[in-house]
Amino acid sequence: MTTSLEIRSGRYHDSVRLMQASRALLEVSGIQDALVAMATDLNLELLAGMGFDLESACGAGPDDLLVAIRAADPADVEVAHRCLDEVLSLRPEAPARWALGPSARTIESATRRIEANVALVSVPGPHAFVEAMAALRAGLHVMVFSDNVPIEQEVTLKREAARRNLLVMGPDCGTTIVSGVGLGFANVVLPGPIGITGASGTGIQQLCCLLDAADVGVRHALGTGSRDLSVEVGAASTMSALAALDAEPSVEVILVVSKPPAPTVAARVREAAAACATPVVMALLGESGSTLEEAAAEATRLLERTAPSPLSWPTPIGRKPRPGVLRGLFSGGTLMDEAAVIAAADPDVPEHRLVDLGADEYTQGRPHPMIDYRLRLEQLHEAADDPTTAVILLDVVLGHGAHPDPASELAPAIRETADRGAAVVVSLCGTRHDPQDRDSQASMLQRAGASVWLSNAAAARHAVALAKGHES
């Protein structure tokens, strides 16, 4: 066993590139653990938690790059370093016209060069405010993908945006689709008559997928950030997005989706929705137990189309399910919230334990679980080892930004779990045109022993039935 901890002073790479680098190192033969990250306090803490001796990192700060590797053999460390250099030197291929001249160094200079009207800010949370404000002052709408932005900064940004008649999507905005162009985690959707505004990334994605299955397209889906319907923020961006969608002639029905909102704010959003000329369907989780599946079906009916039952890929039950604990391992917070509402509504479920592995406490210093399935696999094995576990409910999110082939990672673990007697239910969030090929992902998960559902609510209802010892 050998460990290597290297500090590369003054080297900065963006967090996505570093996540990819960490992941690439773990695929090198003989590498047992690896972390490539900026030397922030958080990452140093994480490194200590991984069992690395921090002595050689003494004096390193947020502007320095940490490269920590644990391997069976020193030769493997050397190979890993070469791999790292290769990954960090990769440059995305740009079309020729964009490759001309040096890159812009500031948002203002970038705006002068091209006719952009949206800026995507994806920097560590403490730096996001400055960049987002610069973008607003340059006259751009802003999507803030970063999380860990203080809420008072979010309020300031949204006030500034309102003053300039601009929209701030975020902070903590995982998904936005503008005229088919996905920003962040986004599914490939056909253009159509639906407009969505959502304080929930996976809520937007789930609606897009259910609508796609009903052959209903989405014109725009505007994320507003997970806290937008909180008392402090007061739905500032949701109100702006609602007005923008209402004014858009190609949008015939608007959907508003949110994680459980503050009741007073939800009431104000309802008032604004009622004043819209375009019909609005509300999907505010936690309110009256309505599901995203019902909201998508209602929007489809408003277009005078038939909403089909969402697709499923069931697994024949070989033996009677054993009643017990329902465990949920989610990467999408809204999908977990929806499953929790469904499980809590049934008093006969022995126990349900659901966790959102995409929450801040799990993603600090590591890739999001939609990209990296390691944490989920660990938890899946742990849940399968517990003899009280009756059923494990997982979400698998497809689309741009997500893992390129999640079924290949999950299938062996699902097979093993099923062999140990626990059932596995998958909520598969994907559209027909997603790059991962939704139907083949579903088949692979089904063959491994999981029952697979396009509707998260249907998956949760099925998991609840199994936890009670019913066959469905």
Partner 1 sequence: MPPSWISGDCVGMFASVALRDLIEGPERPGRYFGTSRFASWAAVGERVVVVAGPEAVRLPNCVVVHEMPDTRALLVGCGAVVLGGQRTLVSRWWDPKPVLAATSLTELRRAVGVLARHMEPSTDDSLGSALAGRVAVDVIDASKRLLGRGTGLTPSGDDVLSGAFAAFLLLGAAVDDPSAARLIASARPPLLRLSAHDSTTFSGALIGHALIGEVALPVATLLRALAGRGSIQDALDDLATVGHSSGPALAQGVFAGATGVCGGRQ
Task: Give the interface with partner 1 as residue ranges (CB under 8 A).
Answer: 20, 23-24, 27, 83, 86-87, 90, 92-93, 95, 97, 179-182, 188-191, 217, 249-250, 400, 404, 432-433, 435
CB of 248 to partner 1, least distance (A): 8
DSSP secondary structure letter of residue 6: E
Nearer to partner 1, 400 or 447 (CB): 400
CB of 116 to partner 1, least distance (A): 16
Nearer to partner 1, 179 or 288 (CB): 179
Nearer to partner 1, 26 or 134 (CB): 26
CB of 95 to partner 1, least distance (A): 5
Q: At what angle do helices 151-163 and 125-137 cross, to 10 degrees?
A: 10
CB of 19 to partner 1, least distance (A): 10
CB of 286 to partner 1, least distance (A): 33
Nearer to partner 1, 91 or 320 (CB): 91
CA 309 – CA 380 distance, rounded (Å): 29
Nearer to partner 1, 227 or 438 (CB): 438
CB of 389 to partner 1, least distance (A): 32
From the CB of residue 451, how many other CB atoms can be counted at a distance below 10 Å?
23
The answer to whether residues 258 and 293 touch, using CB atoms and an 8 Å cutoff, is no
CA 192 – CA 211 distance, rounded (Å): 10
CB of 237 to partner 1, least distance (A): 23
CA 353 – CA 337 distance, rounded (Å): 12
Output the CA torsion sign for 151, 155, 156, 158: positive
Nearer to partner 1, 95 or 318 (CB): 95
DSSP secondary structure letter of residue 277: S
Strand (E) or helix (H) holding 38: strand 31-38
Q: How far is CA 291 from the centre of its chain?
A: 19
CB of 437 to partner 1, least distance (A): 8
Q: Name the token pair of 186.
A: 């986004």
Instruction: Indicate the residue type of 282.
Output: M
Nearer to partner 1, 82 or 420 (CB): 82
CA 119 – CA 301 distance, rounded (Å): 35
CB of 217 to partner 1, least distance (A): 8
CA 271 – CA 334 distance, rounded (Å): 23
Candidates 373, 438, 441, 374; CA nearest to 407 is 441
189 burial via Cβ count (<10 Å: 0-12, 13-18, 19+): buried
Nearer to partner 1, 94 or 345 (CB): 94
CA 421 – CA 444 distance, rounded (Å): 19
The answer to whether residues 306 and 300 touch, using CB atoms and an 8 Å cutoff, is yes
Nearer to partner 1, 182 or 225 (CB): 182
What is the dihedral angle through the alpha carbons of 159, 162, 163, 168, rounded to the nearest 10 degrees? 80
